[in-house]
């Protein structure tokens, strides 16, 4: 969210700078185009008026018709130019009033001049000079020049105001650009600091929790506490869920191991009882003819005991299957935890990619600022050229003498404007260079953020290794449980065989009490089976104890 706001701020800076530059460019075009052109047209009125006066005097002196034709052409051109200026200043009452006054005095002058030239044609040079000496035409000409000068001064004042407006616009643009740049730097600094602190704090918490678990010999009561709502919080929650699942599975295995130990003790007791019964059967076989009924009773009791033993073995087999299922579930949970941690690592890599994209965007901003620098260089060159042209115009105005004074003032203002534009362009170039340095700083800070993200990925890899160890230990537990299941199955087979032997002995005792020797052999076979059962139960008890010791290494409460 913060990076989006920063990007919007930078885009706003670029758009605002571009708009201000375009606006300044349009104002300069307007000033250099319409304003200067209008001033040149007004200044040219004085020159044309001087030319008309000279042609009038030349015609009066020489009487040359060519001079009269040139006079008529220049007089009409002057009137046309004034009318065009009236159209341009149709919305400017002050300038329009001056132009109307100029045209009125000019009409008076042309009427006087036409009368003088008509006298020259009809009455001769002396009469024309006498008419001109009355001064009516000269007075009108003086009034025309006065009004032209008034208009020049008004236009110069407007040009000065426009220059001031341009300078104010440039100053405002610089101020806004500086404020936005400062705001972007502040936001970027705060964002970088908060991101660095969050990554460092959360990785330290996760690492401390995992180290405590490993150093305390499998302490499954440890939990990871992260208060943020970012990817580290998801990693912490997934790891806590994995630890809780493993703790539940270890607790179930511990319960099943105690049940196996209890059932093993019961089996040992039953096996001892069966051994005593079989011993009794062996002794009874010597006197079977005397106590066949007691033998049948004892065999029935032995069969019942074997049924109980078989039932206990079946229950133990079911418990063993439950233990195996629990171990399988624990392996599945560990694998799911491995996948969760792997997903977290992928998220960290996505964060790294996002920061890399941000770096690319900032780099593009740097490229844009370089383009702006090129544009500013072009503006500087234009200002230099304008300054040179203004200097040439001043020289030409100086050559023109009195008629070129107004144009000289305009040339000086243009040169001052060019120098101001050049200075402003240099200041903007300095600010652009400062922005480029800040962009370089942003790129370095993003690289630091990528380094911290890589540290987080390494931490998730450490967590993955710990999960691999847990899965390996669980597989060892599963192998022990499989071995227990095989031995219990062997035990069930033996108990079933012993039960069948008891049934056969009972049948033989009922059919023929004389078969004492065969009964004795069956009793010996039963004794061997009971010994095998006792050995199996002893082995099962040993394995149950080993499993309990292994589970005791885990702390679950």
**Cβ-based neighbours of 249, under 8 Å, separated by 6 or more:** 326, 327, 329, 330, 333
pLDDT of residue 475: 81
Mean pLDDT in the chain?
78
pLDDT of residue 470: 67
Distance CA 349, CA 457 (A): 7
The pTM (predicted TM-score) of the whole model is 0.33
**Cβ-based neighbours of 222, under 8 Å, separated by 6 or more:** 209, 212, 213, 216, 243
Residue-wise pLDDT tens digits, 240-299: 787 777 777 767 777 877 776 777 677 678 767 766 766 776 676 666 567 667 767 876
Residue-wise pLDDT tens digits, 127-167: 988 998 887 888 998 999 999 998 888 888 887 887 788 78
3-state helix, strand, coil in the chain (%, to 5): 95, 0, 5
Which CATH number does the domain 228-354+454-552 belong to among 1.10.10, 3.30.1330, 1.10.287, 1.20.1280? 1.10.287
User: In sequence order, what are the beta bridge partners of 555?
Assistant: 219
Please state, as a whole number, how many other Cβ atoms lie within 10 Å of the Cβ of residue 82.
20
Dig out the tokens for 188 from the structure: 């970027």
**Measured CA distances, 148 to 48, 71, 85, 509 (Å):** 12, 20, 12, 155
Residue-wise pLDDT tens digits, 299-350: 677 667 767 867 876 877 787 788 778 768 867 876 887 787 678 678 777 8
Query: pLDDT class for 3, splitting at 50, 70, 90?
Result: low
Dig out the tokens for 103 from the structure: 């045209």
What is the b/e burial string over 306-325, where b = at least 16 CB atoms within 10 angstroms of the residue's CB? bebbbebbeebbebbebbbe
Please state, as a whole number, how many other Cβ atoms lie within 10 Å of the Cβ of residue 215.
8
Distance CA 350, CA 116 (A): 96
Report the percent of the chain where pLDDT is more than 70.
81
Residue-wise pLDDT tens digits, 361-413: 867 877 877 787 788 788 788 878 888 887 887 887 788 777 777 767 877 88
Distance CA 465, CA 411 (A): 81
SS3 64: coil
> CA angle at residue 130 from 127 to 131, to 5 degrees?
85
Q: Estimate the crossing angle of helix 36-62 against helix 93-122, to 10 degrees.
A: 10
**Cβ-based neighbours of 327, under 8 Å, separated by 6 or more:** 249, 253, 474, 477, 478, 481
Report the percent of the chain where pLDDT is more than 90.
11
SS3 219: strand
Residue-wise pLDDT tens digits, 115-126: 999 999 999 999
Distance CA 328, CA 335 (A): 11
Residue-wise pLDDT tens digits, 399-410: 877 777 776 787
Please state the domain extents for the chain.
228-354+454-552
Query: pLDDT class for 71, splitting at 50, 70, 90?
Result: very high
């Amino acid at each position: 969210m913060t990076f989006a706001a920063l990007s919007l701020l930078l885009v706003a800076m670029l758009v605002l700078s571009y708009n201000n530059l375009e606006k300044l460019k349009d104002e300069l075009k307007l000033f250099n185009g319409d304003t200067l052109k209008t001033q040149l047209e007004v200044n040219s009125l004085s020159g044309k008026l001087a030319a008309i006066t000279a042609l009038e005097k030349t015609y009066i002196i020489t009487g040359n018709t060519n001079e009269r034709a040139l006079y008529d052409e220049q007089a009409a051109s002057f009137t046309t130019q004034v009318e065009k200026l009236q159209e341009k200043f149709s919305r400017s009452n002050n300038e329009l009033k001056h132009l109307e006054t100029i045209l009125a005095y000019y009409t008076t002058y042309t009427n006087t001049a036409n009368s003088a030239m008509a006298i020259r044609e009809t009455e001769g040079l002396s009469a024309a000079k006498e008419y001109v000496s009355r001064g009516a035409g000269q007075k009108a000409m003086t009034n025309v020049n006065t009004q032209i000068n008034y208009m020049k001064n008004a236009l110069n004042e407007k040009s000065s105001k426009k220059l001031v407006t341009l300078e104010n616009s440039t100053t405002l643009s610089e101020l806004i650009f500086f404020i936005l740049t400062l705001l972007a730097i502040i936001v970027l600094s705060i964002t970088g600091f908060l991101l660095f602190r969050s990554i460092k704090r959360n990785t330290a918490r996760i690492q401390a929790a995992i180290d405590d678990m490993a150093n305390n010999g499998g302490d499954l009561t440890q939990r990871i506490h992260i208060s943020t709502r970012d990817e580290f919080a998801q990693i912490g929650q997934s790891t806590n869920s994995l630890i809780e699942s493993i703790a539940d599975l270890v607790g179930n295995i511990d319960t099943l191991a105690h049940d196996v130990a209890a059932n093993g003790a019961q089996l040992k007791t039953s096996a001892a009882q069966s051994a005593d019964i079989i011993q009794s059967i062996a002794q009874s076989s010597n006197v079977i003819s005397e106590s066949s009924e007691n033998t049948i009773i004892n065999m029935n009791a032995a069969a019942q005991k074997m049924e109980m033993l078989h039932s206990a073995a079946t229950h133990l087999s079911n418990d063993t299957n439950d233990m195996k299922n629990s171990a399988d579930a624990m392996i599945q949970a560990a694998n799911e935890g491995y996948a969760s941690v792997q997903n977290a690592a992928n998220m960290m890599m996505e964060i790294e990619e996002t920061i890399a994209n941000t770096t690319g965007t900032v780099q593009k901003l740097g490229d844009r600022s370089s383009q702006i620098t090129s544009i500013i260089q072009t503006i500087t060159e234009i200002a230099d050229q304008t300054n040179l042209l203004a200097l040439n115009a001043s020289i030409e105005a100086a050559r023109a003498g009195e008629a070129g004074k107004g144009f000289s003032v305009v040339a000086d203002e243009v040169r001052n404007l060019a120098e101001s534009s050049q200075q402003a362009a240099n200041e903007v170039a300095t600010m652009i260079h400062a922005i480029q340095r800040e962009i370089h700083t942003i790129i370095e800070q993003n690289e630091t953020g990528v380094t911290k993200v890589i540290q987080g990925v390494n931490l998730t890899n450490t967590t993955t290794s710990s999960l691999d160890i847990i899965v390996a230990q669980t597989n060892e537990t599963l192998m022990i449980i499989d071995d227990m299941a095989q031995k219990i199955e062997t035990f069930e087979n033996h108990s079933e065989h012993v039960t069948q032997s008891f049934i056969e002995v009972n049948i033989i005792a009922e059919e023929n009490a004389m078969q004492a020797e065969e009964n004795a052999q069956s009793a010996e076979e039963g004794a061997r089976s009971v010994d095998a059962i006792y050995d199996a139960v002893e082995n099962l008890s040993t394995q149950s104890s080993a499993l309990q010791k292994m589970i005791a290494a885990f702390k679950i409460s």
